[in-house]
């Protein structure tokens, strides 16, 4: 088999080492581009055997049409999410594979880090003591023990988050369209209706994928029925929250804390350095003014273990296709699931 040549978009220095280690093992030749994939940069993939993309690459119909014209049969997403992919446009033209899981612990632990940091204000204490200010006024927190924490989405990340929380003496409420009652019994989790979770939780953490059905599930109406001073944590997808409604909730004091690793309009800013520029996104700029908001730049996945697994699975997906004509971790074009009744012989078409 001739080693496949893969156009690798939106490449960052911290991930190239991991992929080069896999390249030595598999023979895959990666062509690294700093540019994100879009209609202006898609021509850079011409002559390649496949494309490797990330969360902010554009796989719209226009881009997919170009990839198809270049006879590129495979796109390997080095991420779990695929809401940036027009699956209808790709159907019967290009196969999409992904990394369905890499390190549930990485994202779950980051969610907990956001909770603890917002609560105990360790980020503020760090800067105070660096300036020789040892005053603790304004750093008052609360005990997690005894609080009700609502977990929306009990997939692998949500379950890992719950397992971590179980040692804090909290009461865990959960919502999922496919409840796992056995898991709930093992970890004393109570599945409730979504409105009940909103109404009763002191802290709400989002761990579900983005779908057309749950887009903006956190909005003015759902915020209105939440507890006063509720803490919102989002390490899932930005568009799970209507950010403008959240800003209004923060201004009114309804939302007491917000910890965000994702943002609905993050594509332009996240993963890039704008420290010498003006942020023109008025909503993001407003969020950054709140002292009770903590934003991280989509770094929940960012651990050595996760990056190693992402590189390994992505390369396995690529080699399986080009060497064995097999599709590992293919996205189903009808329902989006990795394993579903629409597939025949492990393929969606």
Mean pLDDT along residues 239-266: 97
Q: What percent of the chain has pLDDT over 90?
A: 89
For residue range 102-135, list pLDDT tens digits in order: 899 999 999 999 999 999 999 999 999 999 999 9
Which of 27, 61, 9 has its CA nearest to residue 318? 27
Residues 6+ apart with CB under 8 A from 140: none
SS3 at position 40: coil
- Across the chain, mean pLDDT equals 94
pLDDT at 249: 98
pTM as predicted: 0.88
> What band does 341 get if pLDDT is binned at 50, 70 and 90?
very low
What structural domains and CATH numbers belong to the chain?
Answer: 5-102+303-324 (3.40.50.720), 104-295 (3.40.50.720)
Catalytic residues: 237, 266, 298
Which contacts qualify for 140-143: CB closer than 8 Å, 24 or more apart?
none
Q: Tens digit of pLDDT for each residue in 155-178?
A: 999 999 999 999 999 999 999 999
The answer, yes or no, to whether residue 27 has pLDDT greater than 70, is yes
The helix (H) or strand (E) run that includes residue 315 is helix 304-324
CA distance 295 to 262: 8
pLDDT at residue 346 above 80? no
Burial 56-93 (b: 16+ CB within 10 A, else e): bbbbeeebbebbeeeebebbbbbbbbbbbbebebbeee
Mean pLDDT of the region 253-265: 96
Q: Is the pLDDT of residue 338 over 90?
A: no
Sheet of strand 5-8: strand arrangement: 29-32, 5-8, 50-53, 74-77, 95-97
Quote the CA–CA distance of 14 and 30 in Å, as a whole number.
15
CA distance 8 to 45: 9
At 216, is the pLDDT very low, low, confident or very high (cuts 50, 70, 90)?
very high
State the burial class of residue 193 (Cβ atoms within 10 Å of its Cβ: 0-12, 13-18, 19+).
exposed
pLDDT of residue 256: 98
């Amino acid at each position: 088999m001739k080693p496949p040549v893969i156009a690798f978009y939106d490449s960052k220095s911290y991930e190239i080492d991991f992929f080069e280690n896999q390249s030595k093992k598999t023979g895959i030749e990666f062509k690294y581009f700093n540019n994100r994939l879009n209609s202006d940069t898609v021509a850079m993939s011409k002559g390649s055997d496949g494309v490797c993309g990330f969360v902010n690459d554009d796989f719209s119909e226009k881009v997919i049409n170009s990839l198809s014209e270049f006879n590129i049969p495979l796109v390997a997403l080095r991420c779990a999410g695929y809401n940036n992919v027009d699956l209808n446009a790709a159907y019967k033209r290009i196969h999409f594979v992904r990394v369905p899981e890499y390190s549930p612990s990485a994202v779950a632990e980051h969610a907990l880090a956001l909770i603890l940091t917002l609560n105990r204000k360790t980020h503020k204490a760090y800067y105070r003591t660096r300036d020789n200010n040892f005053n603790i006024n304004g750093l008052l927190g609360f005990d997690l023990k005894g609080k009700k924490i609502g977990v929306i989405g009990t997939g692998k990340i949500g379950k890992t988050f719950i397992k971590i929380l179980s040692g804090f003496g909290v009461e865990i409420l959960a919502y999922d369209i496919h409840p796992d009652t056995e898991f709930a019994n093992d970890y004393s989790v109570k599945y409730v209706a979504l409105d009940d979770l909103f109404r009763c939780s002191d802290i709400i953490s989002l761990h579900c994928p983005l779908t057309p059905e749950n887009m903006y599930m956190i909005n003015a109406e759902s915020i209105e029925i939440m507890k006063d001073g509720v803490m919102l944590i989002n390490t899932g997808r930005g568009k799970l929250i209507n950010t403008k409604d959240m800003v209004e909730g923060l201004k009114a004091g309804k939302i007491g804390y917000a910890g965000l690793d994702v943002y609905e309009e993050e594509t332009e800013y996240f993963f890039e350095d704008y420290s010498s520029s003006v942020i023109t996104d008025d909503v993001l700029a407003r969020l950054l003014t709140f002292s009770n908001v903590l934003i991280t730049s989509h770094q929940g996945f960012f651990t050595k273990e996760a990056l190693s697994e992402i590189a390994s699975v992505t390369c396995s997906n690529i080699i399986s296709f080009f060497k064995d004509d097999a599709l590992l971790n293919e996205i189903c074009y009808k329902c989006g699931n990795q394993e579903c009744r629409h597939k025949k012989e492990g393929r969606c078409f």
